[in-house]
Amino acid sequence: MGKLRLAVLASGRGSNLQAIIDAIAAGELAAEIAVVISDKEDARALERARRHRIPHCFLDPKEHPGPGAYDRALVALWREYRVDLVALAGFMRLLGAEAVRAYRNRILNIHPSLLPAFPGLNAQAQAVAYGVRYSGCTVHFVDEGMDTGPIILQAVVPVRQDDDPETLAARILEEEHRLYPRAIQLFAEGRLEVVGRRVRIKDK
Ligand code: GRF
């Protein structure tokens, strides 16, 4: 079998995309990025793809109005680029049922909290406001819900007394950059088995 072909979807900064690019370059992740897709024309993630000569495209939501249209356009792109696995990396649109169904258990997301705590937007601010002592990040399969799919890996970071959402986000982000390539590598090795809502990690 050839290398795992990834699509990375990002709306903004793209630091997780960069971590994936770097892990591939370092030989820690046996995959290739087939395409980077963004719903924002000015996403820094697209700039990173350009710099690394990775195929990339801006998929304009305005050109795909109506229920399910954007999802269908995404799936068409994934097929066109013969994508094996989709990695959401700061992609700010909720995927619809059509996309999830078409790539069931082949879409991953990274979320900056220990799910099921603090799903949705501003997870780091939610954690600081709630007063938890630990937070972290989660890589999970994407299902029809918001940040609800089966959990693959999590990493824990302490929340410090003087943290604000930005300082906590920075501490979590460091762990994100380690965790996401590891989770993708497990998928590439065929070691993830979804049983109900639990993910079993098979031995090598
Ligand atoms: C990360 O915190 C990720 O967990 C969340 O969105 C942020 C994306 O950051 N889903 P970046 O674009 O990868 O730098």
Which of 9, 16, 33, 95 should be mutated for ligand 1, with most atoms under 8 A from CB?
Answer: 16
β-pairing, 85-88 vs 4-9, is: parallel
pLDDT digits (tens, 9 = 90+) for 60-115: 999 999 999 999 999 999 999 999 999 999 999 999 999 999 999 999 999 999 99
Kindly give the number of the ligand 1 atom that is closest to the alpha carbon of 137: 4
In our burial notation (b when 16+ CB lie closer than 10 A, e otherwise), range 97-124 reads: ebbbebbebbbbbbbbbbbeebeeeebb
CA 16 – ligand 1 centroid, Å:
6
Predicted confidence at residue 1, as pLDDT, reads 65
**What percent of the chain has pLDDT above 70?**
100
Ligand 1 atom closest to 19 (CA): 13
Say how many Å lie between the CA of residue 91 and the centre of ligand 1: 8
Residue type, 29: L
Q: What is the pTM of this model?
A: 0.97
The two structure tokens encoding residue 29: 């992740």
Does the Cβ of 111 fall within 6 Å of ligand 1? yes
If one counts the domains in the chain, the total is 1
The residues of the chain scoring below 50 in pLDDT are none
What pLDDT is recorded for position 104?
A: 97
Active site residue 56: no
Tokens of 195: 């049983």
Residue minimizing CA distance to atom 1 of ligand 1:
90
pLDDT of residue 19: 98
Give the rounded percent of residues in the chain with a pLDDT score beyond 90. 98
Is any ligand 1 atom within 6 A of the Cβ of residue 16? yes
- At residue 100, the 3 state secondary structure works out as helix
Q: Residue 2's pLDDT is what?
A: 85
Residue 136 pairs in a beta bridge with: 156
Q: State whether the Cα torsion 154-155-158-164 is positive or negative.
A: negative
What single DSSP character describes residue 96?
P
Taking the C-alpha atoms of residue 12 and residue 44, their distance in angstroms, rounded to an integer, is 6
| DSSP notation for 117-186 | SS-SS-HHHHHHHHT-SEEEEEEEE--SSSS-SPEEEEEEEEPPTT--HHHHHHHHHHHHHHHHHHHHHH
Cβ of residue 139 lying under 6 Å from some atom of ligand 1? no
Phi, psi dihedrals of residue 86, rounded to the nearest 5°: -105, 130
Q: What is the domain range of residue 132?
A: 4-201
CATH number at residue 175: 3.40.50.170
